[in-house]
Amino acid sequence: MTEPDSCSDGGGCDGARADGPPADPRDGAHVAQLSVPEMDCPSCAGKVESSVRELSGIEAVDPQIATGRLTVEYDGTETDVDAIVARIEAAGYTVADDGGETLRFSVPEMDCASCAGKVESALGGVDGLRAVETHPTTGTAVVTYDRAATTERDLVAAIESAGYEVTETTGANETAGGQTDGDGSLWTSPRALKTWVSGVFVAFGLLFEFLLPGANAQVGSVLGSALHVADVLFLVGVATGGQEILRNGYYSLRNLNLDIDLLMSIAILGALTASLAFGEALYFEAATLAFLFSVAELLERYSMDRARNSLEELMDLSPDEATVKRDGVEKVVPVDDVQVGDVVVIRPGEKIPMDGEVVDGTSAVNQAPITGESVPVDKTEGDEVYAGTVNEEGYLEVQVTAAASDNTLSRIVQMVEDAQSNKTEREQFVERFSSYYTPVVVAFAVLVTLTTPAVLGVAWSTAFVYGLTLLVLACPCAFVISTPVSVVSGITSAAKNGVLIKGGNHLEAMGAVDVVAFDKTGTLTKGELTVTDVIPLNGNTEAEVLQCARGLEQRSEHPIGEAIVARAGTAGVESAEIDDFESITGKGVRADLDGTPHYAGKPGLFDDLGFDLSHVHATTDGGVVTKTAQRLCERNNCLDLLDDTVPELQAEGKTVVIVGTDEEIEGIIAVADEVRPEAKAAVSRLRDLGVERTVMLTGDNERTAGAIAREVGVDDYQAELLPDEKVAAIEDLVEEHDGVAMVGDGINDAPALASATVGVAMGAAGTDTALETADIALMSDDLSKLPYLYELANDANGVIRQNIWASLAVKAGLALAVPFGYVPIWVAVLAGDAGMTTAVTGNAMRLSRIRPDDGHDS
């Protein structure tokens, strides 16, 4: 699969950095991201890195094994992408995507050499052009260009500027029908076929060597050493199965890399040399090494492909084409051709191709690919939708608000890819350890070969085999790959469940936090005021109370008034006729409703009007009575608003509004920022998973903060905090505990998020600020994803520890057992190399099984 070219600085790979001068693209620092699929093991990465660093002007090289991508920072005045690609190929690897793309244009009118010359001249003026091939006999032009510097649209315009019409555009490898050549299965690839052929010859060699010794006749001799039928079969097995090994070993030696390819090449050639020159008859060992190591390489590639597929699934979420409505006509175009402002049409069952705003239609949209929400979200005119989500049932027209390369899904994919660059502490330790491991084991192999004949009394041929076996175990691939493959598995699994983790270091840190601190407004609460209680008084009904309140508040711009109007609208209550509206500063509002003066405001307003708030009759029928009112009404149907009802509502964190005339109190309305239904369950689940302490930090008043803290169940809270005081509170927590996670909205809480060990932003889908601010982003406003995140991170840390120590233990155990004859070569290859690499990858993939709890407890 061809991956989109992108750069860490957000600009084109062949352009200047965002903070550099945007002058000549050949000047200054550049970043290239190249796809090298065959770079699937630490030794491969080391070989590629060593080769690229031989170029002058290379500033940094970051090989990412788990995704097969190579990021190179270089000075454009000294080298370029083509030179980097050449060095990668010099290391023996193929670049599948170097930031360029090849397209085939159908130009029927280009039917002579002169026409072709004009087209070539026109294309020559396009920036980023790499190669042009014109074929007048077939009327086609094949163009290779740099995607970062130009677009397909520019190329078509250039051809048309020469006076020729482009009737069709396809990929270079596509047929007229649009079919592409498949890559085929790994198990039927050229290397795999050579491996299977090698296995057949090895099997026949074993047959003659051990089962049919009588038929194992001598067929010749080399340098005085006899060659039997089995020996010849083993040699053919080495020749077929060992080609790729020896080829890679050559490139390793050329780049001075002491990696597994070089070690295996030395082992195979050493066994053949001992057999042919010294008559030690190690043909079987050489053939076994060639065949089994080739199988091991295929298994390693297969297991790595499994890990890479999880990221490719993210890339495949967005459709390749979109139906655009232009000048009243619908047209299907590639998503890269859709422009900001275009209107795209999405029918039931189709994926939404671009970020945008609904301008027509109503539907339910499955946002699980982006936000992880399990229930489709209703969308109507004015609502935002994201690329990669699925239109469930209705017809939608969406105005595009972001280009394909800058939509929410693209940013998620890019951040997941970039996350590998932020190495965990364990990964850094393993890399340092591995730099000593191989030389030590190679030295041990030499020592064993030279000393075991004297110390343990074994034959020199046996000691030589011991040395070869230790060379096989000298490769640190299994434990080097154990961390990055776990990180990629965890991060991509989280992304598919609506959690964006921006680096392996943040994943590791999240799994080790002791304290989780929450912002209140918009995090533990919904961030929107809602009417929670309506208490009718003096024989009025709830509808009558809401009708008066709506009339009084609908001209108010205060959030409390807006909440009351919204509740009345939901209840279907119409407003009375309003006259003489007046705002009473600091206390409430007044207006004439159907000619009768009415008031709505704080209890103090009605106290000033002369009402006895300690003796008010509650409505017991004809209205909805809250539990609070019902309990108090049992005392002679009388409420003491001043000492009982109002303080009790306020103790629950609610704001109280009294509604009435100058003669009668008609009712009480309580308004609050409603606690998220999943908040209490999320806090409880975090405690069950091992979080030692939960804290709420808020700028709200002490009374409201206390009520919310008690309802949610956090261990502690701090109220009336200014932004800098919230940062100080986080810093105090960081000093007291090993790890602190701060959960906020990613905008107002940016300083606190940055001060915490791990910053977690809520509701980051489509929000640039939230995506950029936090270390981790919950793409939807769903706190139930927080326990999932903690569990995933904690399990990822466990898996990484298991992988590292298991691979080290197996390698060490096998190495120590070799001098005593307990480890044949085939065990070293299959268990020590292929077995452990496959095992650590399989163990890492277990992280994808962890799922968020969709249940919301109130």
| Catalytic residue ranges | 519
Q: Which of 509, 519, 496, 512 is nearest to 679 (CA)?
A: 519
- CA–CA distance, 606 with 613 (Å, rounded to integer): 8
Find the angle CA(708)-CA(714)-CA(717) to the nearest 5 degrees: 70
- CA–CA distance, 263 with 474 (Å, rounded to integer): 8
Q: Is 379 helix (H, G, I), strand (E, B) or coil?
A: strand
String of DSSP letters for 658-686: EEEESS-EEEEEEEEEEEPTTHHHHHHHH
String of DSSP letters for 136-205: TTTTEEEEEEETTT--HHHHHHHHHHTT----EEEETTB-TT--B-----GGGSHHHHHHHHHHHHHHHH
| Tokens describing residue 814 | 């096998």
Question: Which residues lie closer than 8 Å to 460 by C-beta, 6 or more apart?
Answer: 280, 453
CB atoms within 10 A of CB 760: 31
CB atoms within 10 A of CB 219: 12
* Residue keyed to tokens 């004859």: 821
- The answer to whether 299 and 833 are in contact (CB under 8 A) is no
Q: Note the helical H segments in 398-476.
A: 408-418, 425-455, 460-473
- The answer to whether 344 and 407 are in contact (CB under 8 A) is no
CA distances from 721 to 597, 717, 775 (A): 40, 11, 23
- CA–CA distance, 534 with 763 (Å, rounded to integer): 31
- CA–CA distance, 87 with 84 (Å, rounded to integer): 5
- CA–CA distance, 556 with 460 (Å, rounded to integer): 97
Strand partners, 228: 218
Question: Which residues lie closer than 8 Å to 789 by C-beta, 6 or more apart?
Answer: 494, 499, 501, 510, 760, 776, 778
Strand pairing of 776-778 and 758-762? parallel
Burial 315-341 (b: 16+ CB within 10 A, else e): bebbbeebbbbeeeeeeebebbbbeee
Q: Is 450 helix (H, G, I), strand (E, B) or coil?
A: helix
Strand partners, 601: 588, 658
44: left (phi over 0), alpha (psi -120 to 50) or beta: alpha
Q: Is 633 helix (H, G, I), strand (E, B) or coil?
A: helix
